[in-house]
Amino acid sequence: MQAVRHVVCALSGGVDSAVAALLLRRRGYQVTGVFMKNWDSLDEHGVCTADKDCEDAYRVCQILDIPFHQVSYIKEYWNDVFSDFLNEYEKGRTPNPDIVCNKHIKFSCFFHYAVDNLGADAIATGHYARTSLEDEEVFQQKHIKRPEGLFRNRFEVRNAVKLLQAADSFKDQTFFLSQVSQDALRRTIFPLGGLTKQFVKKIAAENRLHHVLQKKESMGMCFVGKRNFEHFLLQYLQPRPGHFISIEDNKVLGTHKGWFLYTLGQRANIGGLREPWYVVEKDGVKGNVFVAPRKDHPALYRDLLRTSRVHWITEEPPAALVRDKMMECHFRFRHQMALVCCVLQRGRVPGQREDRAAGAVRLHTPEEPAQRWGGHREPQ
């Protein structure tokens, strides 16, 4: 007789992960719930939301009659996610901390804890996503020891697992999973991948999970929550006052507290001006932010961008790209942004390995003006 499969499910205290755990139980698996605490501070109203979320996750485990564990990755989150977040902003770029958090915390720290400490056959989360494996295929996956040394990055993964979009195209969260490792992906189950958010709420209502069903949709930065962005960032970075300057006539329109606070394409809130202005360019030396009127201003649009080191989910670049040095694909830089047709062309920075080369993305149609990270949705 086959032993009951053990699945460790990440619980956040929200409805999505709660229903994910419920569905795993219905499939007959031995399920363990784990809550991760990764941020150690109060919100702007003096409330520690992590404690409330932990209580809600524990209550889910009581209702489902499954074991509950709590782990802390505060140090790891600070070193691997938040420090990177601050460094990127200081350089004038806009990072997506949820992508980095999934890569380093949920699908690395939590993954190894579940497998090595709790003896999990697989892990699960409440993300709206799918993979190319059925549950039983996930359970058959074994850890593959990678060669050390020079050829480590060239190690071939046979029958690589694919990351697939969720059935609910509006809730699809594969964007946030775009840098998850092949090792973790091949041992992960996404119980909500074939469901809509509305149906997930219906399941929660029918199974005594009202306390998570009534919670607001989680917004803002992964594990930190929704904040006053400018105030929050200036707690960690020194203000660098400068001017808003019109891209059309170089007229000074107002002042700001730091050029790094703004994202290209973002609406700039300039005091005293009724009409909207949008960020076109930033001068990190002088501290000025150049803006343009109207959302459709030509200065806001680009048809070419360059990428840094590429993360391939299958760990190897597609054969067509290797053969032709370019390939047609689809592109998005923001969650829920419509996919745009583009051509990816391989390039290489001197000293960079061929298989991890940077690339140039040429869009077939103009991209949308960018928006900051505060406003995307990660699973509850």
With beta carbons less than 8 A apart as the criterion, state whether 62 and 104 touch: no
Structure tokens at 221: 């930065």
Structure tokens at 270: 């300039």
Q: Looking at residue 99, what is its pLDDT?
A: 94
SS3 290: strand
d(C-alpha 155, C-alpha 360), whole Å: 25
Q: Looking at residue 215, what is its pLDDT?
A: 83
pLDDT tens across the length of the chain (380 residues): 568 999 999 999 999 999 999 999 999 999 999 999 988 765 445 555 788 899 999 999 999 999 999 999 999 999 999 999 999 999 988 889 999 999 999 999 999 999 999 999 999 999 999 999 999 999 998 766 555 544 445 445 568 999 999 999 999 999 999 999 999 999 999 999 999 999 999 999 999 999 999 887 765 555 565 667 888 889 899 999 999 999 999 999 999 999 999 999 999 989 888 889 999 999 999 999 999 998 899 999 888 888 888 889 988 888 888 899 999 999 888 888 888 899 998 875 444 454 445 566 666 543 444 443 333 334 44
Q: How many CB atoms lie within 10 A of CB 179?
A: 14
Q: Is 61 a catalytic residue?
A: no
Structure tokens at 268: 């700039």
Q: Is 9 a catalytic residue?
A: no
Structure tokens at 105: 């915390």
Q: Looking at residue 195, what is its pLDDT?
A: 97
Q: Return the percentage of the chain with pLDDT > 70, whole number.
A: 82
Q: Looking at residue 358, what is its pLDDT?
A: 57
Q: Looking at residue 376, what is its pLDDT?
A: 38
Average pLDDT over the chain, rounded to an integer = 85
**pLDDT tens digits, one per residue of 67-86:** 999 999 999 999 999 999 99
Q: What is the DSSP letter of 225?
A: B
Q: Looking at residue 216, what is its pLDDT?
A: 78
Pairing of strands 242-246, 288-293: parallel
Q: Looking at residue 103, what is its pLDDT?
A: 95
Q: Looking at residue 119, what is its pLDDT?
A: 96
Q: Looking at residue 170, what is its pLDDT?
A: 92
Q: Looking at residue 229, what is its pLDDT?
A: 80
d(C-alpha 205, C-alpha 227), whole Å: 29
C-alpha angle 112/113/118, rounded to 5°?
120
Catalytic residue among 54, 61, 222, 342: 222
Catalytic residue among 9, 101, 329, 342: 101
Q: Looking at residue 363, what is its pLDDT?
A: 62
The model's pTM is 0.85
First to last CA, the chain: 36
**pLDDT tens digits, one per residue of 193-241:** 999 999 999 999 999 999 999 887 765 555 565 667 888 889 899 999 9
Pairing of strands 267-268, 242-246: unpaired
d(C-alpha 96, C-alpha 99), whole Å: 6
**pLDDT tens digits, one per residue of 22-65:** 999 999 999 999 999 988 765 445 555 788 899 999 999 999 99
Q: What is the DSSP letter of 198?
A: H
d(C-alpha 351, C-alpha 270), whole Å: 43
Q: Looking at residue 141, what is its pLDDT?
A: 86
Q: Looking at residue 356, what is its pLDDT?
A: 47
